[in-house]
């Protein structure tokens, strides 16, 4: 009969395994990201200020954008406008007014299609096509993108990152595109759709300035004023990122790298 002798592990090995276990528990989200290969857009930020990112998507429409610009100017608030390049090309004076009023221009792509249904080369073409139009009209360096319909996968994130972009999602959804009424839009932002507690420091709020979201015009002044009474300030996403200690989720911590195609 063969006798198997088990050696007692050394204290050094026990200590090493203990350290490894601690790292796995403390940084489990980051470790999961490394092994799963998942890439994520930026949903929100961790900040030491009371800042909240204010964003608007525009892909179509003639009636909503200008009243929203009027409200923001009256309230002295700056935001990020994610624009599809065909809309921007058709409304160049409004885009130039956004810049003159101190707003930030981000990309909402070229065609309003789900980028995650495309190959990497097609995604790059969509992003660079929009970039050329948006930068020419606005005079700004455009390096933030929100994927149409919020649709993304690893291809979308990695391709955008390669081109020097940061992909921006949202953590507070006004659901204004559903036309639920101004009161519901206000409630969605201030109190949350479920029980998250509504907008707070570091969050990114999603509104639309397309004609599909007429309730935004009536809801926006109240949202701005009530968030101010809570001590919050509303700023563009680029400024929010510059104030952030980190972004959430952990998989979104992608460094902004200049691309050879950048201006």
What CA–CA distance (Å, rounded) separates 101 from 40?
31
Give the pairing type, strands 44-47 and 244-248.
Answer: antiparallel
Looking at residue 258, the DSSP 8-state letter turns out to be -
Closest listed residue to residue 127, CA positions, set 151, 105, 110: 110
∠ CA(68), CA(70), CA(76), 5° rounding? 100
Could you give the dihedral angle defined by the CA atoms of residues 38, 52, 144 and 196, in that order, rounded to the nearest 10 degrees? Answer: 30
pLDDT score at 20: 54
| Residues 6 or more apart whose Cβ sits within 8 Å of residue 160 | 123, 127, 145, 166, 167
Looking at residue 258, its pLDDT comes to 36
First to last CA, the chain: 76
Token pair in block for residue 169: 């999602």
Extract the runs of DSSP E, i.e. beta strands, from the chain.
Answer: 44-47, 51-58, 80-83, 104-107, 144-145, 166-167, 172-173, 204-208, 233-235, 244-248
Question: How many whole angstroms separate alpha carbon 203 and alpha carbon 76?
Answer: 20
Closest CA to 235 of 45, 44, 53, 99: 53
pLDDT tens-place values along the chain, 263 residues long = 555 454 566 666 665 565 555 444 444 333 333 334 789 999 999 999 999 999 999 999 999 999 999 999 999 999 999 999 999 999 999 999 999 999 999 999 999 999 999 999 999 999 999 999 999 999 999 999 999 999 999 999 999 999 999 999 999 999 999 999 999 999 999 999 876 679 999 999 999 999 999 999 999 999 999 999 999 999 999 999 999 999 999 888 645 543 434 43
Asked whether 200 and 233 are in contact (CB, 8 A), the reply is no
* Closest residue by Cα to residue 115 from 172, 162, 154, 60: 154
Provide the pLDDT for residue 193: 82
Spell out where 48-126 has E strands. Answer: 51-58, 80-83, 104-107
How do residues 120-138 score in pLDDT, each as one tens digit? 999 999 999 999 999 999 9
């Amino acid at each position: 009969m063969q006798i198997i002798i088990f050696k007692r592990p050394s204290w050094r090995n026990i200590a090493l395994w203990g350290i490894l276990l601690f790292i796995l528990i403390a940084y489990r989200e980051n470790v999961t990201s490394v092994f799963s290969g998942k890439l994520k857009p930026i949903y929100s930020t961790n900040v030491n200020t009371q800042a909240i990112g204010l964003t608007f998507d525009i892909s179509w429409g003639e009636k909503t954008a200008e009243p929203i610009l009027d409200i923001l100017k009256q309230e002295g608030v700056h935001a990020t406008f994610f624009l599809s390049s065909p809309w921007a090309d058709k409304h160049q004076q409004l885009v130039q007014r956004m810049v003159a009023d101190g707003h930030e221009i981000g990309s909402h792509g070229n065609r309003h299609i789900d980028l995650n249904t495309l190959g990497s080369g097609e995604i790059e073409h969509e992003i660079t096509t929009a970039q050329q139009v948006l930068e020419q009209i606005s005079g700004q360096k455009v390096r933030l993108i929100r994927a149409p319909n919020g649709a993304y996968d690893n291809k979308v994130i990695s391709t955008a990152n390669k081109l020097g972009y940061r992909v921006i999602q949202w953590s507070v959804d006004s659901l204004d595109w559903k036309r639920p009424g101004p009161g519901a839009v206000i409630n969605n932002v201030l109190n949350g759709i479920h029980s998250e507690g509504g907008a707070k420091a570091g969050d990114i709020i999603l509104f639309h300035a397309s004609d599909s979201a007429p309730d935004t015009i009536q809801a926006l002044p109240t949202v701005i004023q009530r968030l101010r009474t809570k001590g919050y300030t509303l700023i563009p996403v680029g400024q929010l990122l510059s104030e952030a200690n980190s972004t959430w989720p952990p998989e979104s911590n992608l460094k902004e790298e200049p691309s050879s195609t950048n201006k």
